[in-house]
Amino acid sequence: MDLASHVALVTGGSSGIGRAVVGALARAGAAVAFTYRSNAAGADAVVAELAGVAPVVALQGDVAVDGDVARVVSATVARFGRLTIVVNNAGIIRDALALRMTPADWQAVLDVNLSGALRVCRHAVPHLIAAGGGRIVNIASIAGVVGSPGQANYAAAKAGLIGLTEALALELAPHGITVNAVAPGAIDAGIVATLPDDQRRRLIEVIPLGRMGTAAEVAAAVAFLASPEAGFITGQTLVVDGGATVRAWRSADPP
């Protein structure tokens, strides 16, 4: 996949899946700007890792703040001259059972994981149109496909992100912009990488492939959807979960 001459903006790129996405796009030839909220050390490490690979710049900003989003989009275009790829990856969790979840924790997750993606698209899409088209890839989750106990806010936000993906795909197709989502399952990165061994074993037990996925495998799916080869794919959600959702669906079948 050749992304030379493309310019990408990745939100939440200082660690985990976002960091892998930044690396995958840069190694495919794209110039990449990525955002971070507070992990300055992680952001510096990403820039250092990719020095000499492709032009990469880290921009501090919070996708829950419209002014921050406007600033990082403008800074990306000012730095690289155009914008052709957007990856909405920034996300947070505030887990609790639904009846114990505070209104603040509910709202915070929706503001970042769902509304944050819309904010980025609102500011970025005019630049994609000006570039003659482009790609938007939203990082959803299997929690938005089959639900997740203790994560009502997260599951609702990710399900909403899948719906947003489909709506934007229809709205932006006339402008030559494709909009797709990637829904990772249990990925051995971020919080999952720090889980105790017994919790990790329980996660793996429900994955038909018998292992967790890697951030690099998710990033490869994102890079494909961002590439010219995916030009006739839009409004779709690519699940990257080792077969876990297939098992969940089949377990609900009548005997």
36 is known as an active-site residue: no
pLDDT at site 195:
79
The encoded tokens of residue 95 equal 């887990």
CATH of the domain at 120: 3.40.50.720
Domain span including residue 80? 7-250
The pTM score is 0.95
| Tens digits of residue pLDDT in 6-43 | 999 999 999 999 999 999 999 999 999 999 999 999 99
- Residue 54 within any structural domain of the chain: yes
| Cross-strand pairs, 87 | 10, 137
Please give the torsion angle defined by the CA atoms of residues 17, 23, 29 and 34, in that order, rounded to the nearest 10 degrees: 70
Q: Do residues 235 and 140 lie in contact, with contact meaning Cβ atoms separated by under 8 Å?
A: no
- Residue 255 within any structural domain of the chain: no
Number of domains comprising the chain: 1
User: Which is it for the CA torsion 220, 223, 229, 231, positive or negative?
Assistant: positive
Amino acid at site 61? G
Cβ atoms within 10 A of the Cβ of 225, count? 25
Q: What is the pLDDT along the chain (255 residues), one digit of tens a residue?
A: 899 999 999 999 999 999 999 999 999 999 999 999 999 999 999 999 999 999 999 999 999 999 999 999 999 999 999 999 999 999 999 999 999 999 999 999 999 999 999 999 999 999 999 999 999 999 999 999 999 999 999 999 999 999 999 999 999 999 999 999 999 999 998 778 877 888 889 889 999 999 999 999 999 999 999 999 999 999 999 999 999 998 766 655 544
> Can you give the chain as a three-state secondary structure string?
CCCCCCEEEECCCCCHHHHHHHHHHHHCCCEEEEEECCCHHHHHHHHHHCCCCCCEEEEECCCCCHHHHHHHHHHHHHHHCCCCEEEECCCCCCCECHHHCCHHHHHHHHHHHHHHHHHHHHHHHHHHHHCCCEEEEEECCCHHHHCCCCEHHHHHHHHHHHHHHHHHHHHHHHHCEEEEEEEECCECCCCHHHCCHHHHHHHHHCCCCCCCECHHHHHHHHHHHCCHHHCCCCCCEEEECCCHHHHHHHHCCCC
pLDDT at site 196:
87
- Residue 2 within any structural domain of the chain: no
Q: Active-site residue among 36, 80, 106, 154?
A: 154
Rg (C-alpha) for the chain, rounded Å, is 18
- Residue 1 within any structural domain of the chain: no
- Residue 178 within any structural domain of the chain: yes
Count CA within 13 A, CB hemisphere, residue 133: 13
The encoded tokens of residue 92 equal 């947070």
pLDDT at site 192:
81
pLDDT at site 255:
43
